[in-house]
Structure 1
Amino acid sequence: MLRCTNITKRYGQLQVLKGVDLEIAKGEIVSLVGSSGAGKSTLLHILGTLDEADGGEVWLNDTSLHTLRGNALAAFRNNHIGFVFQFHHLLPEFTALENVCIPGWLGNRNKKQVEDRAKELLKMLGLENRIDNKPNALSGGEQQRVAVARALINNPDIILADEPTGNLDSANAKELHQLFFDLRKQFNQTFLIVTHNEELAAQCDRIVHMKDGKII
């Protein structure tokens, strides 16, 4: 479903990615592990079209991502790729419900349908009584679950998660781990997860190791 071939990336004199090949199947949960500086987050950002490779190709289903530009690229990213980061990046002036709705509204979808979908997701994630709370009134675990709901709002083909449990305590981290697997069971959702959390990595279908800008 998602595949990349011979991805290279350089920042100045530093060669961060040195010809990376990776393929992920529909419904697969894959962890990407390696020491700091191995190139994990850089690869994730390129796969998610948040950064541009110097060379190589990225495909999501039948779409060549490296050929998209401007508004077409932004629209494709919004509709087909969900993101969960270590820090939730919720907008503080908006409620949980509004934060979840934003990608749907940006996609010019029907406002009521987006809100109904957001309420459904927040209820599924145990946040039905928190939808009107702003981020500063939510716990860290609740904030991250709102971020997961936001990533799901447009029914993406894949969710890319960059250290999603890195800012959570062990109890909330375990809950988020289980949530990913519940979402795979319910929606056949695909995940690529950059993590230092060995427990999460061990639970995934496959562990991909990176070292010095290469998959080993």
Structure 2
Amino acid sequence: MAILTAKDIHKRYGAVEVLKGVDISVEQGEIVSIVGSSGAGKSTLLHILGTLDRADAGAVTLAGETITRLDGRKLANFRNRHIGFVFQFHHLLPEFSAVENVCIPGWIAGGRKAEVRQRAEELLQMLGLSHRLENKPGALSGGEQQRVAVARALINKPSVVFADEPTGNLDSANARDLHQLFFDLRKQFNQTFLIVTHNEELAQLSDRTVVMKDGKVIS
């Protein structure tokens, strides 16, 4: 059953047509990579599917909700509950500890502080960071920071985790570890991932690869 579908997505920035009628569907528990050369429209599509940007035309349905109809607080609440993000640069808040960074989306969602903290600690422990709970991002390696970002993406048990070049800032060993982590999380939580990547190894490991060129899906 599809957890995410998008139909006839168009997006233009000024005179440049970035997306030219994109269709995509992702099943529950699937790991799908989107690949293509720079400028193909991959990140723009990911941002629209993840509600960070709006399509000019077309419809996106996630977890049974047509999210292209939502706006304002309704959209923000839906994003917080159903969507997790992992970016190339971790976007951790430097003044907060690792565990606090993971907790923040859960607290925003209205979760009880102690319960959110317990889940954050469990996630960080599962990701091999139980000894780093109170460290601030500046004291963590790049690979550790990215694992904190993954835990943060998972804190509210999202329907889909969107990852935009998640290994682009990591060395090859940490990149391989992160690839394996995605598959471990799928096995444990039946977690769905949609990943924009230039990393051929990650794309080949995925259940399915979507190839984009010039604003269209070509395979």
Query: Taking structure 2 as the reference length, what is the TM-score of the superposition?
Result: 0.98
Moved over 4 A (4+): none
Determine the C-alpha separation between the residues in 2 that align with 1:62 and 1:105: 25
Please give the residue correspondences for 1:1-216 in structure 2 after superposition, counting only pairs within 5 Å. Answer: 1-216=3-218
- Name the SS of the counterpart of 1:82 in structure 2: strand
Alpha-carbon RMSD across the aligned residues, in angstroms, is 0.3
| Count of residues in correspondence between the two structures | 216
Structure 1 residue ranges without an equivalent (≥5):
none
Q: Alpha-carbon deviation of 1:17?
A: 0.1
C-alpha separation between the residues in 2 aligned to 1:56 and 1:73? 17
CA displacement at 1:61 relative to structure 2: 2.3
Q: Distance in 1 between matches of 2:99 and 2:27?
A: 31
**Separation in 2, partners of 1:97, 1:205:** 31
Distance 2:13 2:193 in 1: 27
1:211 deviation in Å?
A: 0.1
Q: Measure how far apart 1:62 and its partner are.
A: 1.3
TM-score (norm 1): 1.00
SS in 2 for 1:9: strand
Q: Deviations over 1:157-201 (max 9, x none)?
A: 000000000000000000000000000000000000000000000
Letter in 2 for 1:61: A
Partner-residue secondary structure (3-state), 2:95? coil
